[in-house]
Amino acid sequence: MEFKVNSKELEKLLSKIIPAVPTRTPMPILENFLFEVKDGQLTIYATDLEISLKSSLNIVAEENIKIVVPARLLNDVVRSLKDTTIHFKLAANKKINIVTDMGKYTISYLDADEFPEIPSVEADKSAKDINEVIINGIELRHAFDKCAFAMSKEEMRPAMMGTLFEFTDDGLRLVTTDGHRLVNMLKKNIKAAFNQQYVVPERAVSVLSKILDEKDVKIHLTKSYVSFKLNDIELITRLIAQKYPDYASVIPLENEFQMKVNTKEIHDSIKRMMLFSTSSTRRVKFSIKKDALEISAEDLDIGASGEEKVVCEYEGDDLEIGFNSAYVNDVLSHLGTEEDIIFKLHSPTKAVVIEPVQKKENLDLMMLLMPVRLNT
């Protein structure tokens, strides 16, 4: 039993699949690829039981083969080869010989039945119906770029460890939050024939961010799974089986005081103030008066402090409000492409809404920051 494949084509294929291989896992079998040769097509699978990736390649093969091979070793070997033909030959004792014009390599394989089952949306028996939507890859990646950072890392509330995909009549809404900050974006040009909420886990979002390109992505959704079909690769992930928190209830509507600032100026200032904020609280203080913002921080541990004035437009009441500077920095980093932003404020204890001044045609974007207490 044998098959042949070009080294550079295989390298490209493996590099797309390897992101699904877990780096540390109590199940060593997951550190392998499943190789399936069927009717002249090589399909490679990898999974960490949450997400799975698969991709195929036409090759020269006489027979059908299904084996499990060590993912990182094979990936490293193939990457280190020149452009050449690789000849895979099954040998005795569960060995596979890999022969090129440079040399001969032997690795151990396992039987295919030791590999966990790869879920497929089509085979999801809990699925009454499958919803479908098509999104441009770059557009989806840009959306993830803006919102992925705010997903929670705490396992207490599993739904918040994912990104909410909410299909509505107005478009696709993406929401992420960890309770300290929240991103809420509405992509008005992405319309689906259904209204439904899905929570996609963090790892699927992070792997997708690496492999999305300018091609369209065909998305199939069931109650339990979502599949993202790219040009030449498919990612399938379990959905988080928990209701997403009622994000709308935490977004304040009556924040009447608006402060307009230049994004880069306030961000540069925050980055400096982070150097002076106590490492345990990371607290910075915003002191806001008519057309005047002063940002200050103090690190009592090392006896250092800083204060800066930032140009702003503000007509509201005088206000002193505290934030975790790392969270402000995160929000500003992800609004970095905006020229000016608006802080919508109400009081030192009320969530603050941050929005770009320049509205985009197909995008409503808002971020929310919870304040921290100043008098502790």
**Residue ranges that bind a second copy, judged by CB under 8 A:** 70, 73, 76-77, 80-82, 95, 102-108, 268-269, 271-272, 275-276, 302-309
Nearest-approach distance from CB 354 to a second copy, in angstroms? 22
Comparing CB distances to a second copy, the nearer of 106 and 196 is 106
Nearest-approach distance from CB 100 to a second copy, in angstroms? 9
Comparing CB distances to a second copy, the nearer of 38 and 264 is 264
Comparing CB distances to a second copy, the nearer of 104 and 191 is 104
Side-chain-side CA neighbours of 18 within 13 Å: the count stands at 17
Nearest-approach distance from CB 329 to a second copy, in angstroms? 12
The amino acid that residue 116 corresponds to is P
**Torsion over CA: 193, 198, 204, 206 (sign):** positive
Comparing CB distances to a second copy, the nearer of 29 and 248 is 29
65, 90, 319 from 34: Cα distances, Å? 10, 15, 60
Nearest-approach distance from CB 111 to a second copy, in angstroms? 15
Pairwise CA distance, residues 125 & 128, whole Å: 8
Comparing CB distances to a second copy, the nearer of 132 and 268 is 268
Comparing CB distances to a second copy, the nearer of 157 and 271 is 271
Nearest-approach distance from CB 270 to a second copy, in angstroms? 10
Is the distance from CB of 283 to CB of 325 less than 8 angstroms? yes
Pairwise CA distance, residues 363 & 186, whole Å: 6
Pairwise CA distance, residues 67 & 107, whole Å: 12
What residues contact 70, with CB distance under 8 A and at least 6 apart? 31, 32, 33, 107, 108
Nearest-approach distance from CB 1 to a second copy, in angstroms? 19
Q: Which of 266, 316, 317 is nearest to 295 (CA)?
A: 266
